[in-house]
């Protein structure tokens, strides 16, 4: 994208006050080409579906899951001093918060042209700066574009019927012209990182579901308090909740960007995640084709990953949990990791800061692996009580049909950015 080709709406977007985007955020569902066939808000659009341009898609995606520079890490914990707290698993920061810098999610999306993934979780600083020190957003977007991987041609097939899409969304979700975004979290990775976090603070688990202790931990009792164990289900619910927060806040960041750009859309969860992932059991709905397991006694399938694309930190994507722990330690402390002294960063003495974290030694890793292997064997999956891969919340972006809002709503149903979007972003297309 050359600067000369940027539409006037690009500058409008940069100038919109944050408070206006925040207070003007609404779910605006009626798009060009939509139809509500009956009821008090019945309306049929006079327009054809109008897809987002590549620039519009990149801006929304970069808002949902973009890299925003370097993770500043957690600077101090008296328990670890003089070592730097070593919780994070990614060196880059993103447009949304992540518990202790764990960063376990990536973003998938689909439009009329295909199904894609934006791989930004483990990226270094993708920003590009101008000579005056300000952000070169155009160049930054190009860096994000280079990290998009196409997985399939054509829009992801999600039939507008139950149980794949909930009834109130049949008419609007994943329709022609829309950009449908669905972030996914590796809860297994998050759970391993939480096991590390709690052991560093003197805690191991007991199996409160079956009322039993984890055998083999006695030899590590100098690393934790055997009289103060934490319930396994508590830690796993914690991991699930923290990972969910990543997904929700990433979509919320995207929803604010919709206001700045004058696009319609909303964030929601009214689509069956198993239909998206490919574990619905309906052979006509292959979804993304993720691998999953089913067992007697399980209410729902457990999705574990998509080979070579987004693999959960658990078998069968790893030989065993011991190898998972080794991979996590490498991810944190190896080249490119947040605690490797050669990884670039924001500090004046970068190598000194990154290299000051304590590395998980073999004994520490063995204690984590013992707990993780127990969970896998006892429950048949990892984590044992919550999903391995989580898809839960979505964002859709589309072009609004303002005539619907003008017919049914009082003035103020949309922002000035929406009112002028077609003029400011698509002047050439409308000639």
Strand, helix or coil at 267? strand
Residue 44 belongs to what H/E stretch? strand 43-44
> Comparing C-alpha atoms, which of 322, 320, 388 is closest to residue 360?
322
For residues 408 and 42, what is the distance between their CA atoms, to the nearest angstrom? 10
Structure token pair of residue 52: 């987002």
For residues 376 and 192, what is the distance between their CA atoms, to the nearest angstrom? 12
For residues 333 and 356, what is the distance between their CA atoms, to the nearest angstrom? 11
Q: How many CA atoms lie within 13 A of 389 on its CB side?
A: 33
Instruction: Name the pTM for this structure.
Output: 0.96
pLDDT at position 430: 56
Residue 310 belongs to what H/E stretch? strand 310-311
> Comparing C-alpha atoms, which of 28, 41, 8 is closest to residue 259?
28
What region does 27 belong to: left with phi over 0, alpha with psi -120 to 50, or beta? Answer: beta
By the 10 Å C-beta count (0-12 exposed, 13-18 middle, 19+ buried), 215 is classed as exposed
φ, ψ of residue 182 to 5 degrees: the values are -140, 100
Residue-wise burial string across 300-339, b where 16 or more C-beta atoms lie within 10 A, e elsewhere: ebbbbbbeeebbbbbbebbeebbebbbbbbebbbeeebbb
Q: Report whether 47 contacts 33 (CB < 8 A).
A: yes
What are the C-alpha distances in Å from 28 to residues 20, 175, 241, 251, 267? 16, 15, 27, 15, 10
Structure token pair of residue 58: 């990149």
pLDDT at position 1: 43
Give the sheet arrangement for strand 310-311, strand by strand: 291-293, 302-306, 310-311
User: CA 313, 315, 317, 319 torsion: positive or negative?
Assistant: positive
pLDDT at position 2: 45
Q: Report whether 201 contacts 194 (CB < 8 A).
A: no
Give start and end residues of each alpha helix (H) in 105-230. Answer: 137-145, 187-200
> Comparing C-alpha atoms, which of 145, 130, 45, 62 is closest to residue 96?
62
Q: Report whether 107 contacts 58 (CB < 8 A).
A: no
Q: Report whether 252 contacts 94 (CB < 8 A).
A: no
The gap between the terminal CA atoms of the chain, to the nearest Å, is 21
Per-residue tens of pLDDT for the chain, all 431 residues:
445 579 999 999 999 999 999 999 999 999 999 999 999 999 999 999 999 999 999 999 999 999 999 999 999 999 999 999 999 999 999 999 999 999 999 999 999 999 999 999 999 999 999 999 888 988 999 999 999 999 999 999 999 999 999 999 999 999 999 999 999 999 999 999 999 999 999 999 999 999 999 999 999 999 999 999 999 999 999 999 999 999 999 999 999 999 999 999 999 999 999 999 999 999 999 999 999 999 999 999 999 999 999 999 999 999 999 999 999 999 999 999 999 999 999 999 999 999 999 999 999 999 999 999 999 999 999 999 999 999 999 999 999 999 999 999 999 999 999 999 999 999 876 55
Give start and end residues of each alpha helix (H) in 99-231. Answer: 137-145, 187-200
pLDDT at position 428: 74
pLDDT at position 52: 98
């Amino acid at each position: 994208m050359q600067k000369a080709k940027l539409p006037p709406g690009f500058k409008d977007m940069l100038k919109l006050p944050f408070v206006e985007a925040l207070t003007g955020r609404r779910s605006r569902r009626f798009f060009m080409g939509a139809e509500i066939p009956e009821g008090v808000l019945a309306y049929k659009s006079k327009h054809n579906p109008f897809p987002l341009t590549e620039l519009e898609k990149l801006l929304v995606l970069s808002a949902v899951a973009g890299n925003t520079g370097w993770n500043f890490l957690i600077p101090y914990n008296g328990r670890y001093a003089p070592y730097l707290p070593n919780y994070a698993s990614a060196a880059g920061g993103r447009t949304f918060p992540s518990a202790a810098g764990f960063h376990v999610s990536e973003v998938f999306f689909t439009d009329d042209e295909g199904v894609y993934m934006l791989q930004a979780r483990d990226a270094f600083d993708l920003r590009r700066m101008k000579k005056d020190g300000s952000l070169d957003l155009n160049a930054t977007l190009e860096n994000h574009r280079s990290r998009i991987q196409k997985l399939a041609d054509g829009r992801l097939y999600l039939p507008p019927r139950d149980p794949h899409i909930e009834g109130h969304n049949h008419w609007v979700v994943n329709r022609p012209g829309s950009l449908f975004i669905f972030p996914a979290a590796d809860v297994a990775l998050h759970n391993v990182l939480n096991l590390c976090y709690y052991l560093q603070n003197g805690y191991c688990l007991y199996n409160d579901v079956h009322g039993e202790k984890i055998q083999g931990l006695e030899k590590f009792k100098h690393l934790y308090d055997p009289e103060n164990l934490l319930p396994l289900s508590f830690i796993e619910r914690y991991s699930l909740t923290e990972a969910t927060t990543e997904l929700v806040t990433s979509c919320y960041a995207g929803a604010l960007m919709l206001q700045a750009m004058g696009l319609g859309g909303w964030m929601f969860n009214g689509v069956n995640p198993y239909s998206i992932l490919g574990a619905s059991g309906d052979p006509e709905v292959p979804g993304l084709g993720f691998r999953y397991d089913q067992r007697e006694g399980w209410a729902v399938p457990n999705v574990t990953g998509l080979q070579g694309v987004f693999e959960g930190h658990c078998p069968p994507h790893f030989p065993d949990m011991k190898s998972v722990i080794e991979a996590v330690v490498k991810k944190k402390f190896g080249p490119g990791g947040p605690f490797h002294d050669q990884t670039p960063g924001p500090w004046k003495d970068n190598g000194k800061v990154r290299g000051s974290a304590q590395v998980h030694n073999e004994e520490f890793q063995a204690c984590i692996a013992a707990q993780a292997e127990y969970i896998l064997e006892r429950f048949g999956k990892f984590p044992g009580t919550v999903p391995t891969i989580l898809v839960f919340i979505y964002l859709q972006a589309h072009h609004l049909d303002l005539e619907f809002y003008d017919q049914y709503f009082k003035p103020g149903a949309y922002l000035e950015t929406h009112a002028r979007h077609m003029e400011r972003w698509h002047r050439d297309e409308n000639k």
